[in-house]
Amino acid sequence: MSDLSPLPAMPGQRLARGTGRLLRSLDHAVLTEFTPVRGLRVDLISLGPKGELWVVECKSCRADFQADRKWQGYLDWCDRYFWAVDCDFPTDLLPDDTGLIHADAFGAEITRMAPEHRLSGPRRTKVQRDFARAAALRLQVMCDPGALIAGAS
């Protein structure tokens, strides 16, 4: 089967692409590089058909994981939290009570489902609104680059 997209340059982007495809196959809509609150930016966030919000951080190697001082802050912004790693990643490093996805650039699978910690209603509403706005603002600029002149974002 041919693939229509060029391979992303960075290891983390390759994991994100494959994970994004997995999430889509689960009927989740995916957004990369999302900022739920100032100072935190997640690699992937997805929104399921019932409003479920999942966050996935992509880690390309041990050092990439060990340099991450912020991941526990992400738990407050999703119902389920996952790591996405490649098949060579030392998964013993990762906390047992988080989800695990094995990915490459072409696809991914869930190795361990993340436990669910459901967001409060107001927070879910806020994240969904911010998700919607971020996705639509990016989409508009891709379809009409001239729109950038019109807005601040």
Of 66 and 125, which has the nearer Cβ to a second copy? 125
Q: How far is the CB of 74 from a second copy (least distance, A)?
A: 18
Per DSSP bridges, beta strands 80-85 and 99-103 are parallel
Question: Which residues would be at the binding site for a second copy (CB under 8 A)?
Answer: 1, 3-5, 17, 20-22, 24-25, 27, 29-32, 47, 49, 51, 106-107, 125, 128-129, 131-140, 142-147, 149-153
Query: What is the C-alpha separation between 124 and 118, in angstroms, rounded?
Result: 9
Q: How far is the CB of 93 from a second copy (least distance, A)?
A: 28
Laid out side by side, the sheet with 53-58 consists of 29-37, 40-47, 53-58, 80-85, 99-103, 108-112
Of 21 and 112, which has the nearer Cβ to a second copy? 21
Of 91 and 107, which has the nearer Cβ to a second copy? 107
Say if residues 17 and 44 touch (Cβ distance below 8 Å). Answer: no
